[in-house]
Every structure is written in C-alpha cells, then in structure tokens.
Chain A
Amino acid sequence: MSRKSGDRFCEKNMLTLTASPRSPLHNPTPLETSWPDAIYAQFRRVGIRQVGYVPDAGHSRLIALCQDDPDIADVVLTTEEEGVGLVAGAALGGQRAALLMQSSGVGNCVNMFSLLRNCGFGCVVLVTMRGEFGEFNPWQVPMGAITEDVLRLCGFLTYRVESADAVEPTVGAGCDMAFAGNLQIAILLSQRLIGPKLWTR
C-alpha cells in the first residue's frame, strides 16, 4: 500500500482549508518531544495495524507517525465510541488495534466499552488528559476529573504516566497485557506530561 485512501480527498480540499488559516487553540506537542515516538515504537513492536482517533493536539505527533506508516490503517473517527467497534472488528480479523483519545472522549464510549468486556477483546487506549494539572478551561474539568474512575468501572486497568521517561515502559507493558491476555488497558497521559496549553488569540 503506497498511498492511503483518504489522501486524495485531503489534497483536493487543502486549498480551501489553507485559504483561511487559523491558529489552533493550543499548541500541538512540539516535534522535538520524544514521548509520542516512544509510543509509536511500541506500536511497531507489538504489531498494531489499526489506529482509531479523534484529532487531538496532545496526540498530534503520534497521529502523524501513524498516518505516515503504510502498515498502519489510520482511521479518523467522528466520535470516540466508533473506535470501540473498530477495535472489535480488527481483532475478529486477526489485527491488533489501538485508540487515541482525549479524556472527554472516554465519556463518549461508555456503553460501547461493554463490547470489549463481553467478548474479551484486547484493547489499548491512550488518553491525553484534560481538566487536571494547570487546566484553566473549567469545561474540561468535570469529565477529566472522573475519567480514570469511568475507565475502571468499564473494566479497564488504568496506568497514569506523569513523566516522559515512563511512557515507553508503561505503553510497552500495557500493550503486552492487552494482547497477551485480551485485557482492556488504558494509559492516561497526564496534563503535566503533555505540557502547558499555550492559548493564542
């Protein structure tokens, strides 16, 4: 597979998109930051073949790495709960899949997560946290404050990562547990790790 199926459509629409540029509300993870690369390296090691995501600034580097990988089908979702079905379908077909989402997206998945429990589908969810350390948008707080509890109630084992050097071993262990044991694993990437949100006008 040389080019991904969505590219033609993106390129066709790029002109209209770039005609009125707008700054993101907060800065994506800087390219020199290494922890998204560490996650990607673990995806490669365990053979992740499908990655579902709703675009997210904290995951922007990792999403770009997955999009550029011809061995990974990157699937942009309209809502995070679609990703749960994607993981199940991938597993039925013999492929490993991972989901990337913001803490708010966890709330969108609650009922659909029962599919993973009922059938024992191994799953790795990487959650970028909002609504905690340094958050100054109060609208992010109610969901961010209950994200880890919600995941546990839905049957996930959860692991928090607070520092860049803990990312690779935690993601590696999480992937191994998910796919060796058909477990549901969530790794919460804390707002302290992701970095301050630099808001622009």
Chain B
Amino acid sequence: MDAMMLDRRQFVRELLIDRGELLVVPGLGSTTYDVAAAGDHPLNFYLWGAMGGTAMIGLGLALARPDRRVAVITGDGDMLMGLGSLATIGVKQPKNLAIVVLDNARYGETGMQPSATDHGIDLVAMALACRFKHARVVSRIDGAVDARALLHRGEGPLLVNARITPEDTPRVLPLRDGHAIKQRFMAALDSA
C-alpha cells in the first residue's frame, strides 16, 4: 500500500481552487467538513447521513446535468458501503462524473478503526474493473494539480483514491438543514 502522505484539508482546498461551475457532493462526516473548510459554496450538497449513497447522488446529478461537471468527494468508509454503485456507474458511463475518495483507511468519525482499505482492498482496481475510464492513486500533494484537472476536464467516470494521513482535523460545520441545503443548491443551479 502506498504511503499516506496527504493533508486532507490542503488536498481538498487545492482540488477546489477556482472551481467554477463544478457541482460538489461531499460524503457524510469528515469529507463534508473538508469541503466546507475549503470555502462554503451553494453548489455543495453537504451530506450529514445517507452513508453509502454519495456516489449514487453524484450519478443522478450527472445524468440530469450532462452539461456540468460533478465531483463526489467522500471517504473510504462511505465508498466501501456503496461498492455496488461503482458497477451501476460503470454501466451508465457518465462522462461528467468524478469520484474522489479521501482514503485514510480508517473510520474517522467513530474512533479511527481500520477500514477494509487498511487491509489492502484496492478501490482503484475496483473502479477499473467497473469500466471507469480512469482511476489513480494520489499520495503526494503535487498530484493535486493533475487531480483537479481531471475533475474539470477528464473523461468520466473517474476515480481518484487520495491517500490522506489518518489525523483528526478540527470540525468545520456547514449548513445542516437538508431542505435548506437542497433549496440553496437548486437555486444556484437554476434547477428548482
């Protein structure tokens, strides 16, 4: 397994620099805090639950808006709970969908217990087996530039497995009311 070298906050901040019209769906827990810490934005659909469903929300959104880029930014625990969705996405081949897994090989919200990726379970290999157009590991911060380019211009479906350090980070708590998050997102996208 590659060394885990990325600072999650720095990596997400660099991914979302000049994000333009990018639609972002962060998974529950730490990845929602990371995306909020990079700067609150109406086109963030923050999740506070629905574990295992983040990638599928990204698929529904990507199919509905083929004119826009969609980035799912979630953790290894959420992705592992929804592994079947990699197959579902692979069938539909959405060109505008990218999934970034911030992988610390831990369940950070519950006490840093090891996840399956800590035992060598390989999300990149799974994505490629599910006909993703491209999947890669990023374990150095200088890889953020290429990863960001993939989010904006790469042909999807794409998966970036970002090896982050398993450190606890301060919580940055964004909007929590689901109706408000939805309404704000849809107003900004003019899809209401």
Question: Whole-angstrom distance from the CB of B2 to the nearest CB of chain A?
Answer: 28
Whether B149 is near chain A, meaning CB under 8 Å from some CB there, is: no
Question: Whole-angstrom distance from the CB of B83 to the nearest CB of chain A?
Answer: 8
Q: Are A114's CB and B50's CB within 8 A?
A: yes
Q: Are A115's CB and B88's CB within 8 A?
A: no
B21-66 interface (Cβ within 8 A of A): 23, 25, 45, 48-65
Number of residues in B with C-beta < 8 Å to the partner? 40
Whether B181 is near chain A, meaning CB under 8 Å from some CB there, is: yes
Number of cross-chain contacts by CB at 8 Å? 131
Binding site for A on B (CB under 8 A): 23, 25, 45, 48-65, 82, 84-85, 87-88, 91-93, 131, 178-179, 181-182, 185-186, 189-192
Of B23, B50, B55, which is in contact with the most chain A CB atoms at under 10 Å from its CB? B50
6 A-B pairs with least C-beta separation: A89-B60, A93-B64, A85-B56, A94-B191, A78-B84, A118-B178
Residues in chain B near residue A94, CB distance under 8 A:
64-65, 186, 189-192
Residue from B49, B55, B63, B185 in contact with A73 in the complex, judged by beta carbons closer than 8 Å: B63
Q: Are B179's CB and A89's CB within 8 A?
A: no
Residues in chain B near residue A194, CB distance under 8 A:
none
Q: Which residue of A lies closest to B62 (CB)?
A: A89
Residues in chain A near residue B91, CB distance under 8 A:
5-6, 9, 75-76
Of B48, B87, B88, B181, which is in contact with the most chain A CB atoms at under 10 Å from its CB? B88
Residues in chain A near residue B191, CB distance under 8 A:
92-94
Q: Are A93's CB and B60's CB within 8 A?
A: yes
Q: Are A119's CB and B53's CB within 8 A?
A: no
Residues in chain B near residue A191, CB distance under 8 A:
none
Q: Are A81's CB and B60's CB within 8 A?
A: no
Residues in chain A near residue B56, CB distance under 8 A:
82-86, 89
Residues in chain B near residue A93, CB distance under 8 A:
60-65, 189, 191
Q: Are A92's CB and B82's CB within 8 A?
A: no
Q: How far does the alpha carbon of A115 sit from the alpha carbon of B181 in the complex, in Å?
A: 12
19 interchain pairs (CB within 8 A)? Answer: A9-B131, A50-B64, A73-B92, A75-B59, A75-B63, A76-B91, A77-B88, A82-B56, A84-B53, A85-B53, A85-B60, A88-B57, A90-B64, A91-B60, A93-B62, A115-B49, A115-B50, A119-B178, A119-B181
Q: Are A5's CB and B92's CB within 8 A?
A: yes
Q: Are B50's CB and A82's CB within 8 A?
A: no
Also in contact, A92 and B61, with CB within 8 A (given A75-B92, A78-B84, A78-B88): yes
Q: Are A82's CB and B84's CB within 8 A?
A: yes
Question: Whole-angstrom distance from the CB of A177 to the nearest CB of chain B?
Answer: 18
Whether A87 is near chain B, meaning CB under 8 Å from some CB there, is: yes
Q: Are A92's CB and B92's CB within 8 A?
A: no
Question: Whole-angstrom distance from the CB of A155 to the nearest CB of chain B?
Answer: 13
Of A6, A75, A84, which is in contact with the most chain B CB atoms at under 10 Å from its CB? A75
Q: Which residue of B lies closest to A6 (CB)?
A: B91
Residues in chain B near residue A121, CB distance under 8 A:
182
Also in contact, A92 and B178, with CB within 8 A (given A5-B93, A82-B88): no
Q: Which residue of B lies closest to A74 (CB)?
A: B92
Residues in chain B near residue A76, CB distance under 8 A:
88, 91
Q: How far does the alpha carbon of A93 sit from the alpha carbon of B68 in the complex, in Å?
A: 10
Q: Are B85's CB and A85's CB within 8 A?
A: yes
If A9-B91, A85-B82 are given as contacts, then 18 extra A-B residue pairs at C-beta distance below 8 Å, sorted by A number, are A9-B131, A50-B60, A75-B88, A75-B92, A82-B53, A82-B56, A84-B53, A85-B55, A86-B57, A87-B60, A89-B56, A91-B186, A92-B57, A92-B191, A93-B64, A118-B49, A119-B178, A119-B179
Q: Are B61's CB and A89's CB within 8 A?
A: yes
Residues in chain B near residue A49, CB distance under 8 A:
64
